[in-house]
Structure 1
Amino acid sequence: MNHLKTENSPYLLQHAENPVDWYPWGKEAFQKASEEKKPIFLSIGYSTCHWCHVMAHESFEDEEVAAVLNRSFISIKVDREERPDVDAVYMEFCQALTGSGGWPLTVIMSPDQQPFYVDTYLPKNSHYGKMGLLALLEAVENRWKNDRSRLLDAGDQITRYLKDNSESKFGEASPAASHSERLTAQAAAELHTAYDSKWGGFGNAPKFPIPHNLLFLMRYSKRVKNDWFMEMAENTLVKMVQGGLFDHIGGGFSRYSTDRQWLVPHFEKMLYDNALLALSFLEAYSITQKTEYKTAARRTFHYIFRELTGSQGEFFCGQDADSDGVEGKYYVFTPEEIKKVLGTKSGEDFCHKYHISVSGNFEGKNIPNLTGNSNWETQFSQDAEEKESLYQYRRTRCRLHLDDKVLTAWNGLMILALAKGYSVLGDLSYLRAAIQAKNFIEDNMTSRSGGLFLSWRNGTASVPGQLGDYACYLCGLLSLYEASFEAELLLRAEELAQIMQKLFEDTREGGYYLYGQDSETLILRPKETYDGALPSGNSMAAIALQKLAHLSGKEAFRALAEKQMLFMRSRAKERPSGHSMFLLAQLAEEAPVMDVICVTADTDTKQAAAELHDYSSRHPEQSIHMLLKTPENAAKLAEAAPFTSEYPLPPSGTLYYICRNGACSAPVYSLEETESRNY
């Protein structure tokens, strides 16, 4: 009997009809394994994972494999997006034992959760020197019967090694880590070494966008006044948006490119990639004012609104790479299709512009792209009607699977990007969307005590929030505050920061654990700091606490921010470029600090807010923190940021109080005055 049919996760439901007797992660499965003295077969993946689908079709839908699993194992399926804590623990084992990781993640372990075999994708049958799943299961089945103690001893040794290694990695933060500018310089040098000057990005194929690397390079370039680092980021952004990684028909970016030149993507689209890439293009537009970057951000937001947004303003996880079991089928075209939809002349022009040929560039068909086009900037913003016609046409051919889970962390990143989008571009729809998503989380993914849940689907919130949920949502709330200047957002952010500290903080060695005191205890309690495809919760916590300390002016948050910065510097020193999101906080600490307290008697604050946003967007080289005080919000703002009670409201009009690096000046009536004064 398959026990996944009543689950809520799209990934688990994809396996609900397998002949394998799957259990969800939980007490029932572990108790059964213990009672029946069977090893556990654990498979971790997510619903839009191409190789997860491949392994499912080859093995988990196969009666022969199912017979072995059902006979000799207790089989557990985990959605890594719902249980990032479980995934993180066993991915750490996988990376320690194999030197790499990925999904699907395949683990065989004892009933007390001690793994003794870890790998990723396995074919059903052995070939090309790689053991197949069937052979592995039969080998473990035999060893479990005849030499079980050896397997269990191996599991104990692996767990003991990782626990010891974890303790050594997370020792006391060293004061020597205060040499912070070395970290940013070393990170920039490491990225320079890995940089592909022709095609942008870092390393060879496959290439991942890693937007936080680009954000770091852009801000570092302004910090050290060296345009080369900005050129690295711009070249990467341009090559990505020209290539097939960007969906020229429907907007948005795929997860990564399988080739060096960003032409052939792995076609799945994820919310977090698109949120962070939108943020990167907004940053590039703020610095350069090049319209193509604004267009890229807008088209990314448009994609998310059209494809990944729910009826209540919530944002879904992502879309699959496969359609009808074929990777990329939804996205590719033949010239004949283009001409049939657009007409012969318009179709031929479109094919010429977007490199659509009879021979094709992907398995005999074509991924539209602008790679190498000399006037691509102009072309990028053209053909709106043609693209819309092709978009509607391809929706009739086949559909993509939608993972309609709502994750707090990923929605926090999206709120962050949308709030930035409103501040930079002034588009009110972005602010409204950010507020709607915030309201959804508060109404549906918040506990009675004020804490967060990790996941929501079909009316049900599940799994206690983990560090990434709190830290990413905190960053989203603070960005939304600086977009809307609603004092309630600051108060809520302060409440969540206090809950985060209580649930996750390592009071002895610094930093924050991945899962909290209110979560299930696993065999390891990771403390992740590395910024991979997703930035780590500890990096996001550093950014949030730093921002909160400045906005609130409260000593408690300043102390927490300093402690977190010290901890992260000690972790980043071995490979700074692997901590690029944290280094954004480091750059903010190194940059000239400017605190702006705007006090206005006006009931309509649009003009004052617009001036604050405009000034901040034009000065990315500064670390700017903005507060806006009105007669209506004065009391709440004083609760969130007590020092603002000392700033009197004018009888009429608006005043700006400016403090730079701890030194304050006389108020001005316009921020333009600050640029003409010599402070």
Structure 2
Amino acid sequence: MKISNKGNNAMNTNRVPNRLINEKSPYLLQHAYNPVNWFPWGKEAFEVAKREKKPIFLSSGYSTCHWCHVMEHESFEDAEVAERLNRDFVCIKVDREERPDVDAVYMEVCQVLTGSGGWPLTILMTPEQQPFFAGTYFPKKGWFGTVGLLDLLDSAAQQWRENREKIIRSGKEITDAIREREEKKAGRPSKQMIHLAKQQLSQSFDTRNGGFGRSPKFPSPQNLLFLLRFAVMESDEQALSMVEKTLRQMYRGGIFDHIGYGFSRYSTDEKWLVPHFEKMLYDNALLTMAYLETYQITGIGFYKMVAMKVMDYVLREMTDIGGGFYSAQDADSEGKEGKYYVFSPGEILTLLGEEDGQAFNRTFHITEEGNFEGKSIPNLLGQEEAQATEERIASLIPRVYQYRKERTELRVDDKILTSWNALMIAAFAKAYRILGDSQYLDAAEKAMRFLTDHLMDKNGNLLIRWREGEAAGTGGLDDYAFSIWALLNLYEATFDVRYLKLAVDLYQKMTERFYDRENGGFFLSSNEAEPLIYRPKETYDGAIPSGNSVAAAGLLKLFALTGDTKLREAEEEQLQFLAATAQDYPAGYCFALLTMMSALYPSKEIVCIIRDKAEMEPLKALLRKKILFNTTVIVKNAENAEQLEQVAPFTKAYALDREKSAYFVCENNVCAPPVYTLEELEKLL
């Protein structure tokens, strides 16, 4: 059963709702009955601020953010705080997942002014949107040197009354400084940069627990995907060992949900035991890819098992009836973080009986003393995974899962985001390519149909979000770049030319709307989107790869599949732009480095001329057996020839008037004579 956010905004029917009641965003709806007179981001709020000559209090967050909930309960539901906010400010709430452009602009302001960032994001700015103060979470009242929100509001209001012109000048100076950070950059991708990134990751690697750095510890799947590619390209056992250690320890820890499956957002400790319990679609998509590729490289069934569990979780709990994927599940249940996920030994014994209950508690470390606020997060730390997959224990998990669902509700952020869905589509397409299970291809194709039916307008332009029958938001760079990447993964899984054609169409739109012809790279927001104080251009990999990095991956693959020399030129420019940005700390740009490796290391291109449909499945099975990280495969047959030749004109030279199928393999710009059997093709691979 899916618990949606409809009605999950802790409403009090004795209160009058604010303007957020008319929004679709689950995050905004959670605040619709706050006593704060919230506005959504939009023209009305700024007109009121100008008319009333008030500064703006901007708060940005997302529906499954624990500290966003804390700040709401402490301050935004509090009459005293609401009175100050409503009296002295115009208050705007932003869902960072629906308005990533707004959030990115002011998050950069926060990072520049404070040296850090995060959510909830708190910004004070002029009616002209120029920021003069930035921060994150503030308690209602200050403690141990921490500024309280009431003190901040009183001070800011006083300064606005007494020194307004000075504050306005300060806001303009901050805005000008942010704008001036953009300059033309050009670098050169090199293997030296690739090796430096591996060295930097090695230096921060936790040899005992896996992962990078200390607590809080994030999965950082793009780092793992880079190390996997490095391990194969450089025959580097240490790189592979770092990945395997991390993937095994993450699974053993509480960051993996051993009852319902799927990974939480991050671990609050070094050993992956206590997570921040929210589950995000994008983490599970990218980690699925990391486990699948590790299985492909090692052949070890454990990694396949974990990937399948994550995908089972997404299909069971995060998939809309129409095929799209929901955004997230909350960290909190009934106002308490982690309540949904933890157990006491007694309740397991009551549920399963003495013998089975004791075995279950032993396996998953459910103890009287507990490991999280007096209760226990199920985990396998300190033991082998096999103990939890024993038939006896495995047979008990569904009963515990059902009990957990009935015991406590878990809020689901059921909005469907184009960019995050594209990541999950790519993961399912990769799962089909590696595992050959058609249910994963079905999920990927159904989700892509959802995007094209509901999140693409009649002119083929992408939108950001769909919820309750309504799509909204001008698509951003991530929506286009990630969708192109998903389509290319679908093409490689199916060899259906429609996916390749749509990827080319979206690339053209992406270039028209986002490319910076003066300084290189792609802007985060479209030139058709609402103007903000400046247009950010993200390159650093955060929780997900940057749109610029994924755009580079799409450009390289599109050139390889279509042979369009303009795409090659665009790819080279994009990699030079990313190399200039990444050169000081390349380990922070691992997804961009994946594409640089594809450009720098040996590659293969294969054109398959298929005469008999019956040969398609054996061809896919052969490709499934091989590690083809830097290989592009095109399939031409009688059914797709005309359409393929339109999108990839070079394929006209490969005639279909042959008595049998033929396979053309080129490596490093040198082509071998064609071969005519899959056995011969396998030798060339």
Flag whether TM exceeds 0.5 (same fold): yes
Residue of structure 1 in register with 2:646 after alignment: 639
Counterpart residue number, 2:461? 451
How far did residue 407 of structure 1 move? 0.7
- Report the residue type matching 1:453 in the other structure: L
1:401 counterpart letter in structure 2: R
| Contact 2:513–2:526 (8 Å) recurs in 1 | yes
Give the match for residue 5 of structure 2. Answer: none
Provide the rounded CA distance (Å) in 1 between the counterparts of 2:417 and 2:396: 34
Q: What residue number does 2:528 align with?
A: 518
* Partner residue of 1:225 out of 221, 229, 235: 235
Find out whether 1:262 has 2:272 as its counterpart: yes
1:96 paired residue number: 112
Shift of 1:238: 0.6
Native 8 Å contact 1:218 1:284 kept in 2: yes
CA distance in 2, matches of 1:665, 1:314: 43
CA contact (8 A) 1:594 1:623 kept: yes
Q: Please state if 1:210 is matched with 2:220.
A: yes
Identify which of 157, 166, 173 aligns with 2:186.
173
Deviations 1:166-216 (A, max 9, x none): 22xx32414xx24x1111111101101111000000111000001000010
Does 2:89 match 1:73? yes
Displacement after TM superposition at 1:669 (Å): 3.0
SS in 2 for 1:5: helix
- Quick check: 1:550 aligned with 2:557? no
Identity of matched residues, %? 49
Letter in 2 for 1:80: R
Query: Contact 1:317–1:410 (CA<8 Å) still a contact in 2?
Result: yes
2:627 is the alignment partner of 1:619: yes
- 1:559 has 2:569 as partner: yes
Secondary structure of residue in 1 paired with 2:21: coil
1:195 is aligned to 2:205: yes
Q: Distance in 2 between matches of 1:672 and 1:240?
A: 39
**Counterpart check, 1:663 vs 2:673:** no
Q: Secondary structure at the match of 2:456?
A: coil
Task: Kindly provide the amino acid, as one letter, of the partner of residue 50 in structure 1.
Answer: H
Pair 1:302 & 2:312 matched: yes
Question: Contact 1:246–1:254 at 8 Å: present in 2 too?
Answer: yes
Letter of the aligned partner of 1:293 in structure 2?
Y
> C-alpha offsets along residues 309-329 of structure 1, whole Å, 9 cap, x if unaligned?
001000010000000001000
Greater displacement, 22-31 / 588-597: 588-597
CA distance in 2, matches of 1:379, 1:654: 48
Q: Structure 1 residue 27 and structure 2 residue 43: aligned?
A: yes
Q: How does 1:371-450 map to 2 (within 5 A)?
A: 371-373=381-383, 375-377=384-386, 379-380=388-389, 382=391, 383-450=393-460
Counterpart code for 1:646: A
Question: Which residue does the alignment assign to 2:11?
Answer: none
Change (3 A) 1:144 1:119: same
Would the aligned equivalents of 1:608 and 1:654 in 2 still touch at CA under 8 Å?
no
State the 1:612 CA deviation.
4.9
Aligned residues of 2:333 and 2:408 also touching (Cα < 8 A): yes
Q: Separation in 2 of the partners of 1:581 and 1:428?
A: 28
Residue 365 of structure 1 aligns with which residue? 375
Corresponding residue to 2:499 among 480, 486, 489: 489
More moved, 136-145 vs 74-83: 136-145
Per-residue deviation, 1:609: 4.2
The one-letter code matched in structure 2 to 1:639 is Q
SS in 2 for 1:645: helix
Q: Which residue of 2 aligns with 1:244?
A: 254
Kindly report the root-mean-square deviation, in angstroms, between the aligned alpha carbons of the 2 structures. Answer: 1.4
Would the aligned equivalents of 2:130 and 2:171 in 1 still touch at CA under 8 Å?
Answer: yes
Give the Å deviation of 1:18.
0.4
Aligned partners of 1:212 and 1:581 also within 8 Å: yes
Report runs of 4+ in structure 1 exceeding 4 Å deviation.
650-653
**What is the letter of the counterpart of residue 186 of structure 2?**
A
For the 8 Å contact 2:550–2:591, the answer to whether it is kept is yes
Matched residue SS, 2:664: strand
Which residue of structure 2 aligns with residue 161 of structure 1?
Answer: 177
Counterpart contact for 1:93–1:118, Cα < 8 Å = yes
* Residue number in structure 1 paired with 2:14: none
Q: Shift in Å at residue 560 of structure 1?
A: 1.2
User: How far off its partner does 1:574 sit?
Assistant: 1.4
Aligned: 1:114 with 2:130: yes
Amino acid at match of 1:355: H
Q: Tell me the residue number matched to 1:471.
A: 481
Give the conservation status (yes or no) of the 8 Å contact 2:435–2:624: no
CA distance in 2, matches of 1:639, 1:651: 21
**Contact map agreement 2:363 2:387 (CA 8 A) in 1:** no
Once the two structures are superposed, what CA deviation does each residue of 1:304-352 show, in whole Å capped at 9, x if it has no partner?
0111100100001000000000100000111122222222211111111
Q: Distance in 1 between matches of 2:164 and 2:365?
A: 59
| Structure 2: gaps of 5 or more residues | 1-16
| 1:603 Cα offset (Å) | 2.9
Distance, in Å, in 2 between the alignment partners of 1:274 and 1:7 is 27
Deviations 1:145-178 (A, max 9, x none): 11111211221221122122x22xx32414xx24
Distance 1:605-1:639 versus aligned 2 partners, 3 A rule: farther
1:423 offset after TM fit, Å?
Answer: 0.2
SS at match of 1:462: strand
Alignment match, 2:582: 572
1:670–1:339 Cα change, 3 Å: farther
* In structure 2, C-alpha distance between the alignment counterparts of 1:522 and 1:592, rounded to whole Å: 43
CA contact (8 A) 2:663 2:681 kept: no
Q: Distance in 2 between matches of 1:49 and 1:605?
A: 50
1:224 and 1:490 mapped to 2: Cα distance? 31
| Residue in structure 2 matching 1:40, options 56, 67, 71 | 56
Shift of 1:670: 3.6
The 2-side partners of 1:263 and 1:160 are apart by 44
Q: 1:193 to 1:380 in 2, by over 3 A?
A: farther
Distance of aligned partners of 1:257 and 1:676 in 2 relative to their CA distance in 1, 3 Å threshold: same
Report the equivalent of 1:87.
103
The answer to whether the Cα contact below 8 Å between 1:200 and 1:235 also exists between their aligned partners in 2 is yes
Q: Is 1:503 aligned to residue 522 of structure 2?
A: no
Contact 1:612 1:626 in 2 (8 A): no
Q: How far did residue 675 of structure 1 move? A: 5.0
Query: Which range moves more in the overlay, 664-673 or 130-139?
Result: 664-673
Aligned-partner Cα distance in 2 for 1:38–1:481: 53
Q: What is the aligned residue count?
A: 668
- Contact 1:600/1:652 (<8 A) preserved: no
TM-aligned CA deviation for residue 492 of structure 1: 0.5
1:656 aligned counterpart, secondary structure = strand
Is the Cα contact below 8 Å between 1:46 and 1:52 reproduced in 2? yes
What secondary structure is seen at the aligned counterpart in 2 of 1:4? Answer: helix
Query: In 1, Cα distance between the equivalents of 2:357 and 2:600?
Result: 53
Match of 1:272 in 2: 282
SS in structure 1 of the partner of residue 388 of structure 2: helix
Confirm or deny: 8 A CA contact 2:184 2:518 kept in the other structure.
no
AA at the equivalent of 2:450:
F
Pairwise CA distance, 1:623: 0.6
- For 1:308, the aligned partner's letter is M
In structure 1, how many angstroms separate the alpha carbons of the residues matched to 2:655 and 2:54? 71
Provide the C-alpha distance between the structure 2 equivalents of 1:49 and 1:92, rounded to a whole number of angstroms.
19
2: CA distance, partners of 1:212 / 1:239: 17
1:308-323 → structure 2 map (5 Å cutoff): 308-323=318-333
TM-score normalised by L of structure 2: 0.96
Equivalent-residue separation in structure 2 for 1:673 and 1:125 (angstroms): 73
Give the secondary structure class of the aligned counterpart of 2:350.
Answer: helix
Cα distance per residue 1:213-232 (max 9 Å; x no partner): 00101111111111001101
